A and B are shown apart, each in its own frame.
Chain A
Amino acid sequence: MHHKTRIALTAIGILGLSMAAQAHAQGSESEDGEKYITLASTTSTENSGLFDAIIPQFTDKTGIEVRVVAVGTGQAFEIARRGDADSLLVHDTAGEERFVEEGYGTERANVMYNDFVIIGPGGDPAGIADAETVAEALQLIAEAEAPFASRGDDSGTNRAELRLWEAAGVEPGGEWYRELGSGMGPTLNTAAGMDAYVMSDRATWVAFENPQNLELLFEGDEALFNQYGSLLISEERHPHLKHDLAEQWHQWLLSAEGQQAIGDFTVNGQQLFFPNAE
Chain B
Amino acid sequence: MASDAGAFATALDLILGLDPDLLGIVALSLRVSLTAVAIATLVGLPLGAALALWRFPGHGAVVVALNALMGLPPVVAGLCVYLLLSRAGPLGELGLLFTPTAMVVAQVVLVLPIIAALARQQVEELHHEYREQLTSLGLSRLRMIPTLLWDARLGLVTVVLAGFGRASAEVGAVMIVGGNIDGVTRVMTTAIVLETSKGDLPLALGLGIVLLGLVALVNAGAYLVGETSRRRLG
* Residue of A16, A28, A71, A189 most packed against chain B (CB within 10 A): A16
Q: Number of contacting residues on A, CB 8 A?
A: 47
- Which of B38, B88, B196 is the one whose CB lies under 8 Å from A16? B38
- Which of B42, B100, B179, B229 is the one whose CB lies under 8 Å from A67? B179
Judge whether A23 and B32 touch: CB under 8 Å.
yes
User: Which residues of A sit under 8 angstroms from B158, Cβ to Cβ?
Assistant: none
Q: How far is the CB of A91 from chain B (nearest CB, A)?
A: 17
CB of A225 within 8 Å of the partner chain: no
User: Which residues of B sit under 8 angstroms from A188, Cβ to Cβ?
Assistant: 199
CB of B128 within 8 Å of the partner chain: no
> Which of these binds chain A: B55-63, B90-98, B135-143, B207-215?
B90-98
User: Which residues of B sit under 8 angstroms from A46, Cβ to Cβ?
Assistant: 194
- Which of B89, B97, B182, B201 is the one whose CB lies under 8 Å from A210? B201
Within 8 A of A (CB), among B184-234: 184, 194, 196-201, 225, 229, 232-233
Q: How far is the CB of B113 from chain A (nearest CB, A)?
A: 18
> Which of these binds chain B: A93-101, A153-161, A178-186?
A178-186
Judge whether A31 and B100 touch: CB under 8 Å.
no
User: Which residues of B sit under 8 angstroms from A67, Cβ to Cβ?
Assistant: 98, 179, 181-182, 184
Judge whether A209 and B32 touch: CB under 8 Å.
no
Within 8 A of B (CB), among A12-30: 12-13, 15-17, 19-20, 22-24, 26-28, 30
Complex Cα distance A35/B87, Å? 19
User: Which residues of A sit under 8 angstroms from B225, Cβ to Cβ?
Assistant: 5, 8
In the complex, the chain A residue whose C-beta lies closest to that of B39 is A20
- Which of B2, B34, B42 is the one whose CB lies under 8 Å from A209? B2
User: Which residues of A sit under 8 angstroms from B87, Cβ to Cβ?
Assistant: 82-84, 238, 240
Judge whether B182 and A20 touch: CB under 8 Å.
no
In the complex, the chain B residue whose C-beta lies closest to that of A2 is B229
CB of A211 within 8 Å of the partner chain: yes
CB of B37 within 8 Å of the partner chain: yes
Within 8 A of B (CB), among A21-52: 22-24, 26-28, 30-31, 38, 43, 46-47, 51-52
Complex Cα distance A82/B181, Å? 18
**Taking A8-B225, A23-B104 as contacts, is the C-beta distance between A185 and B35 under 8 angstroms?**
no
In the complex, the chain B residue whose C-beta lies closest to that of A16 is B38
Total A-B contacts with CB atoms under 8 angstroms apart: 115
User: Which residues of B sit under 8 angstroms from A69, Cβ to Cβ?
Assistant: 98, 179-181
- Which of B39, B42, B97, B197 is the one whose CB lies under 8 Å from A185? B197
User: Which residues of B sit under 8 angstroms from A30, Cβ to Cβ?
Assistant: 184
Judge whether A16 and B229 touch: CB under 8 Å.
no
Q: How far is the CB of B1 from chain A (nearest CB, A)?
A: 11
Judge whether B37 and A16 touch: CB under 8 Å.
yes
Judge whether B100 and A186 touch: CB under 8 Å.
no
Complex Cα distance A1/B200, Å? 50
In the complex, the chain B residue whose C-beta lies closest to that of A70 is B180
Judge whether B199 and A211 touch: CB under 8 Å.
yes
Judge whether A16 and B197 touch: CB under 8 Å.
no
Within 8 A of A (CB), among B75-132: 86-89, 92, 95-102, 104
Judge whether A23 and B35 touch: CB under 8 Å.
yes
Q: How far is the CB of B106 from chain A (nearest CB, A)?
A: 12
Q: How far is the CB of A249 from chain B (nearest CB, A)?
A: 15
Judge whether B42 and A16 touch: CB under 8 Å.
yes
User: Which residues of A sit under 8 angstroms from B229, Cβ to Cβ?
Assistant: 2, 5
Q: List 11 A-B contacts (CB under 8 A).
A: A16-B34, A19-B31, A19-B38, A23-B31, A26-B101, A68-B181, A69-B181, A83-B86, A84-B87, A189-B196, A189-B201
Q: Which residues of A contact B (CB under 8 A)?
A: 1-2, 5, 8-9, 12-13, 15-17, 19-20, 22-24, 26-28, 30-31, 38, 43, 46-47, 51-52, 67-71, 82-84, 183-186, 188-189, 207-211, 238, 240
Q: Which residues of B contact A (CB under 8 A)?
A: 2, 31-32, 34-35, 37-39, 41-42, 86-89, 92, 95-102, 104, 153, 179-182, 184, 194, 196-201, 225, 229, 232-233
